[in-house]
């Protein structure tokens, strides 16, 4: 006997109808070919429910049952809409079962990542591989993990990109990586439309970050770090603060490249070109007090590196306890926040203010050229210029008249 397969039917009426039965199909009374299959799980009191349509098979008496999906992933109304669409496709002569099988066999995002890492990345330098893998794990996989490669569309990519508008440099880096992966997927035959969904999306304009932990905030920040627990994630923040290392280099630092006796680290980096990175005694002490001696230096468990999201949360908590507001509006009106990368920007700013020349800055922070170092020198000179002008104005040795603010409207009366 057919039943109207409503949400109420699925939730409230199956217990009585399944008495003494392990499996049963229920037909819908209004939409011919729409079915609900109910099976009793091994536990006995749990009912497993799934939606189907019936598709006639030429030359056979019994129709083929094509699954729509499980309940409650597909509520009754949503399953009915999907069933109508699939049954209409059958009337047009299409084969939903074949289309579903083809789609199921299509490469997924995880398939693309695996092939990309095995074929494309081995040809790249270690630092490039690390950068690609970082973007894939931190940004792209959370956005596209459940997708099939062929289903990733321009609107989906644009939505991912827009969600990272507050970190435009990070967003642009993610787009470059994704675009490269989509081009690779086309070459591997994973996208038969041969369309790169990253094309046509306008990129954020690059801009210089202004947010840093300044002379008023640094004493508060350092004091709060001193009060914070001695654990891997807080020690990683301390390490980033005193070294200015790239976050990925510090977070993924492995014991195999550390030589504490020589106060050196041998990073696989195209900038250092195999030269050891020198450690200060304070930085070496932070490394030395970590409990493990295998895998990641700063590790919460089993040699695994500290999660980047957890690092950001910990930094936010330290700033909050120190009374430092993370958000500040830059000169162009953009609101900038303190992130783990801000600690590198801060270290370079303080080094420049301390008198470091461009060559010293380039070598300390492992920049490829002097261009980045010169930016910090210019910033330091600008701050110094403002400082001397402020000092001269305060002393007023030449007796310059101070400005007088007049209410023009009042002066006219």
Query: Hey, how many other C-beta atoms are within 10 angstroms of the C-beta on 266?
Result: 15
pLDDT, tens digit, for every residue of 124-152?
A: 887 788 889 989 999 999 999 988 898 89
pLDDT value for 405: 46
pLDDT value for 406: 47
pLDDT, tens digit, for every residue of 82-130?
A: 899 889 888 888 887 766 655 555 789 999 999 999 999 998 887 788 8
User: What SS3 state is found at 406?
Assistant: coil
Query: Does 3.40.50.300 match the CATH number of domain 218-370?
Result: no
User: Which positions of the chain have pLDDT values less than 50?
Assistant: 270-274, 405-413
pLDDT value for 226: 94
pTM: 0.55
Contacts of 274 (CB under 8 A, 6+ apart): 266, 268
User: What SS3 state is found at 18?
Assistant: coil
Contacts of 385 (CB under 8 A, 6+ apart): none
Angle at 247 between CA 242 and CA 251, to 5 degrees: 95
Contact 265, 243 (CB under 8 A): no
pLDDT value for 165: 85
Smallest CA-to-CA distance from 232 within 318, 148, 291 is with 291
pLDDT value for 272: 47
């Amino acid at each position: 006997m057919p039943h109207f397969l409503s949400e109420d039917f699925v939730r409230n009426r199956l217990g009585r109808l399944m008495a003494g039965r392990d499996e049963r199909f229920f037909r819908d009374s209004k939409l011919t070919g729409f079915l609900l299959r109910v099976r009793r799980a091994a536990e006995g009191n749990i009912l497993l429910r799934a939606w189907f349509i019936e598709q006639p098979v030429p030359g056979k008496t019994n129709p083929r049952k094509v699954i729509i999906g499980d309940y409650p992933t597909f509520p009754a109304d949503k399953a009915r809409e999907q069933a109508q669409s699939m049954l209409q496709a059958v009337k047009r002569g299409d084969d939903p079962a074949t289309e579903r099988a083809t789609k199921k066999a299509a490469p997924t995002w995880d398939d693309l990542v695996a092939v990309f890492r095995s074929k494309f990345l081995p040809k790249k330098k270690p630092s490039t591989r690390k950068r690609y893998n970082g973007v894939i794990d931190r940004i792209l996989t959370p956005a596209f993990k459940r997708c099939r490669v062929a289903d990733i569309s321009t609107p989906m990519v644009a939505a991912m990109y827009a969600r990272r508008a507050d970190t435009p440099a990070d967003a642009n880096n993610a787009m470059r990586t994704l675009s490269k992966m989509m081009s690779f997927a086309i070459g591997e035959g994973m996208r038969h439309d041969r369309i790169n969904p990253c094309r046509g999306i306008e990129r954020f304009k690059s801009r210089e970050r202004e947010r840093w932990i300044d002379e008023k905030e640094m004493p508060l920040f350092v004091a709060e770090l001193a009060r914070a627990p001695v654990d891997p994630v807080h020690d990683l923040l301390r390490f980033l603060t005193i070294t200015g290392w790239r976050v990925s280099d510090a977070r993924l630092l492995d014991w195999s490249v550390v030589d504490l006796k020589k106060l050196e680290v041998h990073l696989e980096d195209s900038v250092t070109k195999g030269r050891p990175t020198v450690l200060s005694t304070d930085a070496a002490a932070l490394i030395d007090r970590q409990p493990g001696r295998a895998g990641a230096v700063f590790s919460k468990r089993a040699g695994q590196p500290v999660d980047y999201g957890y690092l950001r949360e910990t930094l936010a908590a330290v700033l909050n306890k120190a009374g430092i507001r993370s958000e500040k509006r830059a000169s162009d009106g953009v609101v900038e926040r303190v992130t783990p990368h801000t600690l590198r920007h801060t270290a370079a700013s303080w080094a420049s203010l301390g008198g470091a020349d461009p060559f010293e800055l380039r070598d300390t922070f492992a920049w490829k050229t002097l261009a980045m170092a010169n930016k910090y020198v210019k910033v330091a000179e600008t701050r110094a210029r403002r400082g001397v002008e402020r000092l001269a104005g305060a002393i007023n040795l030449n007796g310059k008249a101070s400005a007088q603010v007049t209410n023009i409207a009042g002066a006219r009366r």
